[in-house]
Chain A
Amino acid sequence: MQLTDHRDIAAPPATVWAAILDPKVLMACIPGCESMTGSPEEGFEAVVVQKVGPVKAKFTGAVQLSDMVPEQGLTITGEGKGGAAGFAKGGAKVEMAPEGDGTRLTYTVDASVGGKLAQLGSRIIDGFAKKMADQFFENFKNALEPPAPEDDAGEAEEGEKKGWFRRTFGG
């Protein structure tokens, strides 16, 4: 399966680029990610817990970054082994371009599964992959943008989380 979408982020390309290479940011943004170590050059080791339909599993796997062109784009590929649950493979080709004061991220995601996940969950895997991608880029956007004004009132704590990367890097 393959899906294409885009997100506009209120942060300049340099900030977005720095964030996407940061394992701490990736860990915070990948839904269900329990740990993420490594570097953009050598790749990351990740542990992700996810439930796909009837199958819940802890995936351990490697994430590689390639085709890296600073502030323009890169390709993220990953493969996770979920033990008896099977495996998941996927990738995202991400392009960045200035959009007003911010950055437009355009991404094409593909995902495939094997083993028990494919046997039991193939019907729901497309929806699952779309949800994962949406959540990731939503989290990523939130990590870079200041809290929206309406969030300040009731969800101060939530607001704290949002934009932490931007504050750290003074963007």
Chain B
Amino acid sequence: MPKDQGIGARSKRREDVRFLTGAGRYTDDINVPGQTYAAFVRSEVAHGKITKIDTSDAEKMPGVVKVFTAADFDGKGGVPCGWQIHDRQGNPMLEPKHPILAEGKVRYVGDAIACVVAETLEQARDAAEAVVVDIDELPAVMDMKAAVKGGALVHDELGSNLCYDWGFIEDNKAATDAAFETAHHVTTLELVNNRLIANPMEPRVALGHYNRAMDDYTLYTTSQNPHVIRLLMGAFVLSIPEHKLRVVAPDVGGGFGSKIFHYIEEAFVTHASRLINRPVKWTSTRSEAFLTDAHGRDHVTKIELALDKDGMFQALRTETYANMGAYLSTFAPSVPTYLHGTLMAGNYKTPHIYVNVKAVFTNTVPVDAYRGAGRPEATFQLERVIDKAAREMGIDPIELRRKNFVGADEFPYQTPVAVAYDTGNYQATMDVLEKIADLAGFEKRRADSAKKGLWRGLGVNCYIEACGIAPSNLVGQLGARAGLYESATVRVNATGGIVVMTGSHSHGQGHETAFPQVISEMIGIPESQVEIVHGDTANTPMGMGTYGSRSLAVGGSAMVKATNKIIAKAKKIAAHLLEASDGDIELKDGKFTVAGTDKSVDWGSVCLAAYVPHNYPLAELEPGLEETAFYDPSNFTYPSGAYACEVEVDPDTGKVTVCAFAAADDFGNVINPMIVEGQVHGGLAQGIGQALLEGAVYDENGQLLSGSYMDYAMPRADDVPFYTVDHSCCTPCTHNPLGVKGCGEAGAIGSPPAVVNAVIDALQRAGKTNVTHIDMPLSPSRVWAAIQG
């Protein structure tokens, strides 16, 4: 019988009760007496010199409190970048200032020029329209390859649009090139990883509240990592010491990466609130979200794979242009480098790998992490080029992958791109996939599709990801300007209930349900006795937040460490109460027992003794039962999997229908299978969305053409099939106490190549052998055009 409590139970997500009944408390639900409203004046051109800002008419409009321009932020810093890359020569990347309000120049459509703060939102918006801005338009820098050759500069003072030219690992280059010289076969593929917009259901909101009486600040914001925002904004932008700045990220309606970053609007409302001594709220419209939320992906890549005559991979070489947008968003430089180059080995034993990435400034909104962040880009190009190689060499694509897998007995496996995989079993994962996807039955299904006049195709691929980032000392060497540990305080109350204050943040991941399952398992008390608190720097220990599928692997591990401290102390209290040695005390099912006897005391009595210490070893032990732990992982975790997608292509229209999708994942140990399946389902929907539907499109002047849901196609329920997911192949992580690996991004990382491989397969099987690649999104028009040749 399946468990109904603890690790492995399919506990229902307790947070969903409030989310589904409209009782969630999001940032925009928070209102402070005296609150004012902000409306930004944003650039309508992608690139230009500001020649005039006239706020005089706007200032006279009803309800206007103040109209802000860059002058109001004199002496304040720009929004900082949290990761510094060094280029092939060892020089630091070019790093422009990102001012809160534009200083002299606008650099993308949506760049904030001025901001009106008024008594009501409507008054603020009306007055924002009355701000007169004259801009001398400059040529928009849009094409990455052209931008690095010359022409207009996004940042004149930098002298180049090339942020960095990164080689990884530079010492591998000569051996990699040499391997290509002697290779039996080389497969080359040029592709685009399409630019995406995260589109969380809740747009961004920021509410700044300066309290003159206390001379302190509170910022309520839609963030995945309130402590990071407090550190970046306090230390680098507004010079507010952390003890005078509280950042609250309450219920957050999805982030997918786009709410990791420190945005200018957060610094604006915080500082503006001090200048006018009133709270200031900004709520993004959906249009503003399209224009100003950091976008994702946007890589242009050439990848080459060298193979010997038996299909063994000899070497891999890539050249990628990565769009940074107009400014460096918080973690932007890390995405195409250390979150991308380190994954290029995939699940395979390729001896020589060299990755070159050129990061380029353009007149577009900044690009940063989006679900997967670098790893989907790595997986897509690798798994596409392997598929193409299989076709060119006449080897079955699954067979070619199996030949080159890192073997189950070869872990830990040191890749040529710095990282060392601790565990995995790629053959076993592929075995699971072949079974759950019923690959043996494909030919029959293909014949059935053909009867309907449809071309069926099968696409298979593998993925590996690096999650739970990571050892702080390592990421420091790689350029991170932060540590990447996580924290937890476990507070046991006098009557036995537990509150866990975690530095990670839940914005859809289900921490409030999964974290108590771990505590329940460890102590043997019902999950309902454990509550999770997160998202407020005032009552949680310093933590780095939630992204990179790190919450359970890193935050959960911190919680386990703190809980172990609690258990150790509770055993001492129990030993005192039972007049035994604490070494003889066993904790099981919420009861402390002297080993080998029937003498026991329950959890609640021990907790009460800790806070009402009448009968208590006060000379040796402090009262109370509360512990804090910080956990810094010793390595990344490496979830992996094998995915299969079946599509039907309508040859008359080019329309692709995803008929079936199977995902076999190895996430290590699983705390709540239902939450894991939900995470995979969501990731798959986003990956299928990227493959077939989504694409952020700017025109040559830098106007965002896909600026609403009329033109940016999100996946809908009828665009995705019923998924078959399985995580029974389990090789636990060896270096965290839960043995977990992380599952938040896998679906989005592993699915785009499966979809594209399937469409190419359908076309190839139908005789369109000249079609070897179609760039995403595989819209009907692109597929139809490919069919026409």
Contact = CB atoms under 8 A, between A and B. Distances in A.
A115 B109 contact: yes
B119 interface: no
B71 interface: no
A120 B703 CA distance: 11
A137 interface: no
A112 interface: yes
B45 interface: yes
Contact of A119 (B129, B701, B707): B707
Interface in B275-301: 287, 290-291
A120 B129 contact: no
Contact of A122 (B109, B125, B291, B705): B705
B699 A119 contact: no
Nearest to A123: B711
Interface string A122-147: 11000000000000000000000000
Contacts of B711: 122-123
Interface in A5-41: none
Interface string B227-242: 0000000000000000
A65 interface: no
A69 interface: no
A120 B699 contact: no
Contacts of A83: 129
A114 B703 contact: yes
B715 to A, nearest CB: 20
A122 B287 contact: no
A109 interface: no
B44 interface: yes
A123 B125 CA distance: 26
Contact of A115 (B44, B699, B705, B708): B44
A113 B707 CA distance: 13
B705 A114 contact: no
A84 B705 contact: no
Contacts of A107: none
Interface in B88-139: 109, 125, 129
Interface in A97-125: 112-116, 118-120, 122-123
B45 A114 contact: yes
B45 A119 contact: no
B142 interface: no
Given A114-B701, A118-B705, A119-B290, A86 B44 contact: yes
B129 A118 contact: no
B562 to A, nearest CB: 48
Nearest to B128: A84
Interface residues of B, number: 17
Interface centre among A114, A119, A120 (most CB of B within 10 A): A119
B44 A120 contact: no
Interface string B702-744: 0111011011000000000000000000000000000000000
Contacts of A120: 287, 707-708, 710
Interface string B37-81: 000000011000000000000000000000000000000000000
Contacts of B109: 114-115, 118
Given A113-B703, A114-B109, A123 B710 contact: yes
A136 B82 CA distance: 54
B287 A116 contact: yes
A116 B109 CA distance: 10
B129 A84 contact: yes
Interface centre among B44, B290, B705, B708 (most CB of A within 10 A): B44
Contacts of B701: 112, 114
A84 B129 CA distance: 6
Contacts of A118: 109, 699, 703-705, 707
27 contacts: A86-B44, A87-B44, A112-B699, A114-B44, A114-B45, A114-B701, A115-B44, A115-B703, A116-B287, A116-B707, A118-B109, A118-B699, A118-B703, A118-B704, A118-B705, A119-B287, A119-B290, A119-B291, A119-B703, A119-B704, A119-B708, A120-B287, A120-B707, A120-B708, A122-B705, A122-B711, A123-B711
7 closest pairs, A vs B, by CB? A119-B707, A115-B44, A118-B703, A122-B705, A114-B44, A84-B129, A83-B129
Interface of B: 44-45, 109, 125, 129, 287, 290-291, 699, 701, 703-705, 707-708, 710-711
Interface of A: 83-84, 86-87, 112-116, 118-120, 122-123
Given A84-B125, A122-B705, 17 more contacts: A84-B129, A114-B45, A115-B109, A116-B287, A118-B109, A118-B704, A118-B707, A119-B287, A119-B703, A119-B705, A119-B707, A120-B287, A120-B707, A120-B710, A122-B707, A122-B711, A123-B711
